A and B are shown apart, each in its own frame.
Chain A
Amino acid sequence: AFPSSSKDEL
């Protein structure tokens, strides 16, 4: 869903 930002981090 967010491949280009850091929202796939914890």
Chain B
Amino acid sequence: MNIFRFAGDMTHLISILVLLLKIYATKSCAGISLKTQELYALVFVTRYLDLFTDFISVYNSVMKVVFILTSSAIVWCMRRHRIVKRSYDQALDTFRHLFLVLGCLVLALIVHDKFTFQEVFWAFSIYLEAVAILPQLVLLQRSGNVDNLTGQYVFFLGAYRAFYILNWIYRYLTEQHFRLWISCISGLVQTALYADFFYYYYISWKNNSKLQLPS
């Protein structure tokens, strides 16, 4: 494992912890898209079907379990927690996320490494992760104001993407048979979706002002 991959995993983990902390500390999930969180939980569950069949390292297995548990915990809080669920912006979070799921499933049935249950779901999870942020970005766009923690959450998610791309470049240069088409193309799509958000995040940081997205 190289330093970029590790930095990517850590920023990914931090983004999830920032979100959990925000929900726990403020007892509010205002500004957070439940649909994006449900998609991420689905991404982790379908990608880590190999948890019991292919052992890679203790680090990998532990992180997989942590990602499944933390993403499920966020969804649970937003749907079921007595106080937290009251602050959910249901009226603003109207993205048709089922279409994303169906589209990714069809794509995974067409483009995959091998036509097996695990491989198809692995490809599905990669495609779904690429677009899972869309409901969140639409929600931020609609609400206009972005509170600091939500901004940081998306910032760390974006940082995770950037580090993973560096990781793939590094692996491509150092490993002889590194194949990455499905991951890399999906990863580039995913990172491109953040570019717009990052631009406004940078502007607000430079001006030391509150993050505002144009409507």
CB-CB < 8 A to B5: which residues of A?
9
Residue B155 is within 8 A (CB to CB) of chain A in the complex:
no
* Beta-carbon contact of B60 and A6 below 8 Å: no
Residue interface mask A1-10, B partner, CB < 8 A = 1: 1111111111
Residue B28 is within 8 A (CB to CB) of chain A in the complex:
no
Stretch at the interface among B94-102, B143-151, B172-180, B190-198: B172-180
* Beta-carbon contact of A7 and B122 below 8 Å: yes
Interface hub of A2, A4, A6 (most chain B Cβ within 10 A): A6
Interface hub of A2, A8, A10 (most chain B Cβ within 10 A): A10
Residue B64 is within 8 A (CB to CB) of chain A in the complex:
yes
Which among B9, B54, B64, B171 is the interface contact of A1 at CB below 8 angstroms? Answer: B54
* Beta-carbon contact of B178 and A4 below 8 Å: yes
Residue B153 is within 8 A (CB to CB) of chain A in the complex:
no
- 17 additional A-B pairs beyond A7-B50, A7-B122, beta carbons within 8 Å, are A1-B54, A1-B55, A2-B54, A2-B56, A3-B177, A4-B175, A4-B176, A4-B177, A5-B178, A6-B168, A6-B171, A6-B180, A6-B183, A8-B56, A9-B5, A9-B167, A10-B64
